[in-house]
Structure 1
Amino acid sequence: MQSFAVKTIGAIAAIGLMTLGSLAFAQDDAFDLSVPKPEAGAGADEFADLECGTEMISGSGPGFTADRDEAETVAIENWMEKAAKVFPDTELDFDLAKDSNLSCAVQGLYSKCFADGIPCKSKAE
């Protein structure tokens, strides 16, 4: 028969493990950039003056970095390089991309970001 102290310690340990398990999957909403841009639900009129590619392009940096702003910038720059292959003679802007999304994976103090979107350019007049 186990003593009361051993049962209590076991119960406290079990609660602690459950709490740690739930924290391992918790996400800090302050750093979640995976939500669509606010103007993203504006509808088809938003892209009426744009010519868009047919495929989603994804860009990211080479690895995790301590500077989140740098990770975002590198992801967008990588996306721009890939989008330039779709529209080679046009200056592109990530803000014009259809279904664009900028999200970051966080590991401790380090971030790796991903820029996704369908490249678009202004229609020729």
Structure 2
Amino acid sequence: MSRKSLTKDKCPVARSLDIIGDWWALLIVRDALAGVTRFNDFGRSLGAAKNSLSTRLKTLVDHGIFEIRSASDGSAYQEYALTSKGRALAPVLIGLAQWGHRTRLQTRGPHLFVC
């Protein structure tokens, strides 16, 4: 099934899912909230193929969820930093984790975002 764009849908849930509805996107945001900033670190954490990760990060940057910055350590690398729009997704992920706990989907550790 080809993916249908929801950008013009009347429902704000549908429009939001058009940007962050891909499960990789939410896992990237989860990792960023935990302090991951570098492309290779996202790849290592998620086990994602470079092309897939690159495409998803570009989409998140294009939608203002991340911004690209010079590395904080002064190296030539770049980092992905959550914007305020990206940080505003924290309650969404917390709610999703709480739902998983309540419905017994979570099988490891007692804390949110423990994976």
Q: Which structure is higher in helix share?
A: 2
TM-score (norm 1): 0.28
TM-score (norm 2): 0.29
Q: Which has the higher contact order (CA 8 A, sep 6+)?
A: 1
